[in-house]
Amino acid sequence: MLRRILVPMESTLAGEARLDVAISLARRHGAALTLLQVLGRGVEIGCNIDALLAAENAAQALRDRIEREGVRAEWRSSPRVADVGRIYAKQADLTILGRLDAQAMPDVPPESVVLTSGRPILVLPGEGPFATIGTRVVIAWDGSREASRAVRDALPLMAAARSVTALSVNLSEAGQDCPLAGC
């Protein structure tokens, strides 16, 4: 069950598309949103009053939108990107991020959150639109504890899937297969 979805906010079209997905998933699962404004990229901003005022103005606009959408949400702010995975994503059932691509660098690099949080991450490409999420699921399976945990954590998203495909690539010299059952 998804109870809390974390969305680091970005003032971009891609950030808006991620918020749309988060709102849709929150409605579908009865989850609450945590909207996180990251105030600084890699450096602590301390008491930069302009950054704090801009964050508060953005927060108010989002509060107004969330109220219109009818989902539960809370607003948080953090002075450092590193806190997203180290603190906030650990408290969420799912974190929604943008992917690294040639066109734009997201405010929160997904790999840092994956490596520090140990929690499920949904990485969305570009600006969308994303009419459906989780209807076709691919599981990367290697028989490890981590793969098992990832599948378990993703069950709420897979429950409504039309298809689930397990992908297992055998890289061992012995040629032994590791099926989903019996590893």
Residues 140 and 124 in one domain: no
Residues 102 and 83 in one domain: yes
Residues 138 and 122 in one domain: no
The average pLDDT across 161-180 equals 70
Spatial contact of 117 and 151, defined as CB atoms under 8 Å apart: no
Mean pLDDT of the chain: 81
Q: What is the DSSP string of 100-149?
A: P-SS---SS-HHHHHHHH-S-EEEE-SS---S-SSSEEEEE--S-HHHHH
> Could you give the residue ranges of the DSSP H alpha helices within 6-123?
13-29, 49-69, 82-83, 110-117
Residues 91 and 76 in one domain: yes
The distance of Cα 111 from the centroid of its chain, to the nearest Å, equals: 11
Instruction: Give pLDDT tens digits for 81-112.
Output: 889 989 999 999 999 998 765 455 567 888 88
**Which residue segment(s) compose the domain that 64 sits in?**
4-128
User: What is the domain count for the chain?
Assistant: 2
Q: What percent of the chain is modeled with pLDDT above 70?
A: 82
Residues 65 and 93 in one domain: yes
Q: Of 128, 145, 173, which closes a domain? A: 128
SS3 6: strand
Residues 93 and 176 in one domain: no
Residues 14 and 51 in one domain: yes
Instruction: Give pLDDT tens digits for 38-70.
Output: 876 544 445 567 767 776 777 777 778 888 998
